[in-house]
Every structure is written in structure tokens, then in C-alpha cells.
Amino acid sequence: MLVIVLGNLLLGTYAATLAYIGCKSGLHTVLMGRFCFGEWGSKLSDVILAFTQIGWYAWGTATVAIILVETTALPEPIEVGLMVLFGFAF
């Protein structure tokens, strides 16, 4: 649980930093990337950002479901259903 909390704090800090920069500059992430990296470079940074955010979300959702099943001795086939449930809940 400590690793999950620390990971979420890191992700929250990252998102808050992007939000702060966006607030001060008046630009959202895509426009900041285009300004910094150009048209083609911003596409690469957008893909990397999207992949990391989706991957982090999927990892966190799966981890919570797996830990819940293992600690409460629920049947293993219920893991996928819990992942979907937590996905909608989160």
C-alpha cells in the first residue's frame, strides 16, 4: 500500500506541476509541447505522455484488484471483474 500511495503522490505532483505551468503560461499541455518541441516533436511528446498516463492508470487499477484478491482470499477469477469495477470507480 505504501508503494501505491507513493506512486500516486508522484503522479499527483507531476500533474500539479503541469497544471501550475499551464496556469501561469495560459497554455495547455499540447500547446506547451508544440511551443517547446515544434509540430512533429510535440506529437512524440504527446504520445509519450498519453502512454505513461494510461499505463499508470492501468497498473494502479490492476494492482489494487490483485492485492484485494490476495489479501481477502477471494477467488482468482474475480480479479478481472474487480479491475473493471475499479476502473469505473477511479
With a cut of 80, say whether residue 30 has pLDDT above it.
no
Which helix (H) or strand (E) segment holds residue 14: the answer is helix 2-25
Rounded to two decimals, the pTM is 0.55
Q: Per-residue b/e over 57-69, b at no fewer than 16 CB within 10 Å?
A: eeebbbbbbeeeb
With a cut of 80, say whether residue 54 has pLDDT above it.
yes
- Domain spans of the chain? 2-89
> How does pLDDT run across 71-83, given as a tens digit for each residue?
998 998 899 999 9
